[in-house]
Structure 1
Amino acid sequence: MASPDHPITRSVPRAVLFDLDGTLVDTAPDLGHAANLVRAELGRPPLPLADYRPVASAGARGLLGKALQITPEHADFPARRDRFLELYRANLTRQSRLFDGMDVLFAAIAASGARWGIVTNKPAWLTTPLLAGLHLDRQAACAVSADQVARAKPAPDSLLHACELLSLAPTECWYVGDDKRDITAGRAAGMITVAADWGYLGADGPIDSWGADYIARSPQELAGCLRS
């Protein structure tokens, strides 16, 4: 829990914005399932979910890198990526769920008088049906995908666009993410940044090296900061 004089407890947000994969929703089971379906079509056995979880925030690049040991420069990558995305689109909400404690955090946001929204590097053609399938589309005050702005995170474009949609200044918003690029983008936008230690975290070094204003160990802990 943050101390009473910590910057995050002195900041009263009017909106809390979340990264999607690995922060708001645990999508790794369905991303890993799609990657394993690609492996199956190539006659390879499935990998355990634990292998996919650390790279789940990196999208097709991360999942196929783990599943097939190929990079975007590989000649087969475009075809494998397209097939992976096709299979993932067909299995968006097979096992994906909100992270435990998000209901508590949503309640704390509402009680504080703030709104919440989503800013993700996922393309809108995946974001929109995923949110609808989880019944989050009508709850979120905004949802900004990477293909709706000129530059994806770690550039601040999508976060600034969310502010425009909400008619808020960046200084009135918190941004919560489980990847270093989320913190980089949030800082560049001028927001209070929160590193989600419950997420996938990737391979960008220790979470305390990302430069976040606050590291939250759980959604419930972050909810407590809103009540301080």
Structure 2
Amino acid sequence: MHPILKDIRLVAFDLDGTLVDSVPDLAAAVDRVLGELDLPAAGEAKVTAWVGNGSLTLVERALTDALGESPGAEPLEAGNLRFLYHYGRDPGSRTRLYPGVREALDALQAGGWILTLVTNKPYAFIEPILAQFGLERHFALALGGDSLQRKKPDPAPLLHVASHFDVPPPACLMVGDSRHDIAAGRAAGFRTLAVPYGYNHGEPVSNSLPDGLIESLTELV
């Protein structure tokens, strides 16, 4: 057992960039939206730097990059709806599970930890992706970016899962790949653990000073 798990009862995981590499599917949906507007494709490299704050922000960044200026509210809303349509049709065919994730989740579940999922991805896409990898049974509760009025880096989703299971925040751990995960965890009073292989807007997640950093989730167990 990793020392960071000492006295921890509940573990909250981020999804994109922590458990799964979803950029190929996200980029495909973004590029379909741009193509419909006769704008150049963004590609996976740019999308990697844009993900992490929910679909609306992702689309806003893509449109701003392609247009050279911020889109208006109506074009942004229309673009987001088209993105949700395209991504909803195929949210997981190119998405891959990171090495060691299944083994870590199996071991943590067998060890009695409460496992939860807290992502900024819209809730409707969570179940199809988890089901694709047979991971839905691992999580006692999953929250998407639209499950509550506020999302990470606001601490509200983490405080919600802690309250839901009646676990005090100091007995909870947030595991993620970005500064938003670390900021949310710290603000909620959770212990924080980062993985360096995900998406963090081109910055090392270690800059956010998490309580721990591991190269693979297998190091947890």
TM over 0.5: yes
1:63-212 aligned within 5 A: 63-66=59-62, 69=65, 71=70, 73=72, 75-203=74-202, 205-212=203-210
Please list every run of 5 or more consecutive structure 2 residues that lacks an aligned counterpart in the other structure. none
Q: Is the 8 A contact 1:93 1:134 kept in 2?
A: no
Greater shift, 172-181 or 158-167, is seen at 158-167
Q: Is the 8 A contact 2:17 2:199 kept in 1?
A: yes
Question: Aligned in 2, Cα 1:107/1:128: closer, same or farther, shift over 3 Å?
Answer: closer
Q: 1:40 matched to which residue of 2?
A: 35
Question: Aligned in 2, Cα 1:63/1:179: closer, same or farther, shift over 3 Å?
Answer: farther
Question: Aligned in 2, Cα 1:45/1:100: closer, same or farther, shift over 3 Å?
Answer: same
RMSD of aligned Cα (Å): 2.4
What SS is found at the alignment partner of 1:126? helix
Q: Measure, in 1, the Cα distance between the counterparts of 2:110 and 2:64.
A: 46
Q: Is the 8 A contact 2:14 2:117 kept in 1?
A: yes
Task: Give CA-to-partner distance per residue, 1:50-93, whole Å, 9 cap, x none.
Answer: 22222222333235523652546565211111111111111111
Question: Aligned in 2, Cα 1:214/1:58: closer, same or farther, shift over 3 Å?
Answer: same
Aligned pair partner of 1:213 in 211, 214, 220: 211
Q: Is the 8 A contact 2:185 2:192 kept in 1?
A: yes
Q: TM-score, normalised by structure 2?
A: 0.86
What SS is found at the alignment partner of 2:175? strand
Q: TM-score, normalised by structure 1?
A: 0.83
Q: Is the 8 A contact 1:31 1:63 kept in 2?
A: no
Q: 1:24 matched to which residue of 2?
A: 19
CA drift at 1:21? 1.3
Q: Percent identity?
A: 35
Q: Measure, in 1, the Cα distance between the counterparts of 2:61 and 2:148.
A: 26
Corresponding residue pairs, total: 217
Question: Aligned in 2, Cα 1:213/1:72: closer, same or farther, shift over 3 Å?
Answer: farther
